[in-house]
């Protein structure tokens, strides 16, 4: 949860209702700064900048591009996702989190400015193709919900059009302020899932599996569409049965018709994340799987092991939810073929598959698919 020990704020930020609300929800009074240097300096002084940065909030405006394309790689098939860059970093602490190694230093930033978001999103809403937009790439989408009006603002903004869907991806259960909004099915609330053992040992400060699934059921009861992400999947003794139980638990809470998509992807990481995990999570053995260097230079489980796991889950999805779009984030032709028997190999084929799922489940303009 957002519970900073220091809060910094750009000195020239306007006192909008968004900012006033945010400040009213935070304990320490924001310290006004002219630029981010004092924040960086404070974080860099710490022995554990990665851990300390989770307790220092910096309220600012996004000075770069608010809308970005997800960085895929050429070899592994990417889903052409769009990122709405509304914040960085996270207050939870997952051993495998790439954000530990991504920012130098990591900074918990909140990018304020509804006017800026409106200006960036309006052209997207008038575009000639479907866009799937998420805020959960550089932060958890809903850690902000208890202190910020932003998630609600976005839900209502997306509700006014039928060309784009918003995906709020989280490991929290912070959805209460969103439930009664007029969302018009244009917001997908999505949860990253893992097995209870992995949540307990690798995801500090996140909600339990059952709490996440209960939240998903609550969202569905309010007409929201939901999605799930099995990413990262860890391979460990007994993992197949453990992940199958999670899949079964999903459909004990929600019906397949309410699920827009499910992604699956085994753990992969930039090599330098290993030493960070070893230093910050000395009891974790997740970097010690049977990894090889992938064609994108990330460490990946040896391919036959990945495929065997995917085949087990694929079979279960076919049985329990044949109509749900299940896809891989960053896998290649061999993995697709051996798991699902098809490969969305043509340019944008995977994007098309997901656009179709979004159009069907969320009521987007299907002529644009």
Q: Binding residues for ligand SF4, per CB under 6 A?
A: 90, 92-94, 97, 99, 140, 171, 206
Residues forming beta bridges with residue 99, ordered by sequence position: none
For residue 163, how many other CB atoms are within 10 A of its CB?
18
280 near other proteins, judged by CB under 8 A: no
Closest among 233, 219, 210 to 174, alpha carbons compared:
219
Nearer CB in complex with ligand SF4: 99/173 = 99
Binding mask 74-103 for other proteins (x = CB under 8 A): -x----------------------------
Closest among 204, 89, 86, 221 to 154, alpha carbons compared:
86
Spatial separation of the C-alpha atoms in residues 281 and 201, rounded to whole Å:
9
Spatial separation of the C-alpha atoms in residues 61 and 33, rounded to whole Å:
13
Nearer CB in complex with ligand SF4: 229/300 = 229
Instruction: Name the binder of 97 from other proteins, ligand SF4, none, CB < 5-8 A by kind.
Output: ligand SF4
Nearer CB in complex with ligand SF4: 96/336 = 96
Number of residues that bind other proteins (CB under 8 A): 17
Instruction: Name the binder of 94 from ligand SF4, other proteins, none, CB < 5-8 A by kind.
Output: ligand SF4
- What secondary structure does DSSP assign to 28-82, as a single string? SPPEEESSSHHHHHHHHHSS-HHHHGGGEEEEE---S-SEEE----SSSB----E
Shortest Cβ distance from residue 49 to other proteins (Å)? 18
Shortest Cβ distance from residue 99 to ligand SF4 (Å)? 5
Query: Is the sign of the CA dihedral 285, 291, 294, 300 positive or negative?
Result: negative
Shortest Cβ distance from residue 72 to ligand SF4 (Å)? 19
Shortest Cβ distance from residue 94 to ligand SF4 (Å)? 3
Contact with other proteins (CB under 8 A) among 288, 319, 323, 366: 288
Phi, psi of 133 (to 5 degrees): -120, 135
304 near other proteins, judged by CB under 8 A: yes
Shortest Cβ distance from residue 277 to ligand SF4 (Å)? 12
| CB within 8 Å of 102: residues ≥ 6 apart | 138
């Amino acid at each position: 949860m957002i519970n900073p020990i220091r809060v910094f704020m750009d000195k020239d930020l306007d006192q909008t209702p968004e900012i006033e609300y945010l400040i009213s929800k935070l304990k320490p009074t924001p310290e006004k700064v002219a630029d981010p240097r004092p924040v960086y300096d404070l974080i860099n002084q710490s022995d554990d900048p990665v851990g300390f940065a989770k307790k220092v909030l910096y309220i600012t405006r996004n000075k770069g591009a608010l809308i970005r394309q997800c960085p895929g790689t050429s070899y592994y098939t990417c889903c052409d996702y769009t990122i709405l860059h509304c914040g960085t970093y996270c207050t939870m602490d997952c051993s495998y989190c790439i954000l530990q190694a991504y920012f130098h230093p990591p900074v918990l930033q909140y990018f304020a400015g509804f006017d800026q978001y409106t200006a960036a999103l309006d052209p997207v809403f008038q575009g000639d193709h479907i866009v799937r937009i998420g805020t959960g790439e550089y932060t958890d989408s809903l850690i902000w919900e208890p202190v910020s009006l932003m998630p609600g603002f976005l839900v209502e903004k997306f509700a006014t059009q039928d060309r784009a869907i918003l995906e709020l991806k989280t490991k929290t259960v912070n959805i209460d302020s969103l439930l009664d909004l007029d969302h018009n099915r244009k917001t997908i609330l999505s949860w990253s899932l893992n097995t209870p053992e992995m949540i307990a040992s690798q995801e500090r400060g996140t909600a339990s599996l059952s709490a996440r699934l209960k939240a998903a059921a609550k969202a569905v009861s309010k007409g929201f569409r939901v999605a799930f992400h099995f990413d990262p999947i860890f391979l460990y003794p007994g993992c197949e049965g453990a992940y199958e139980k999670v899949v079964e638990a999903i459909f004990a809470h929600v019906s397949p018709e309410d699920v827009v998509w499910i992604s699956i992807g085994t753990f992969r990481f930039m090599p330098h994340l290993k030493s960070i995990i070893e230093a910050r999570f000395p009891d974790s053995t997740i970097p010690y799987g049977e990894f090889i260097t992938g064609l994108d230079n990330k460490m990946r489980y040896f391919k036959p092991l990945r495929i065997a796991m995917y085949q087990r889950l694929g079979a279960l999805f076919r049985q329990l939810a044949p109509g749900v779009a299940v896809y891989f984030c960053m896998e290649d032709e061999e993995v697709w073929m051996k798991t699902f028997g098809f490969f969305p190999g043509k340019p944008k084929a995977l994007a098309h598959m997901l656009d179709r799922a979004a159009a069907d489940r969320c009521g987007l303009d299907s002529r644009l698919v």
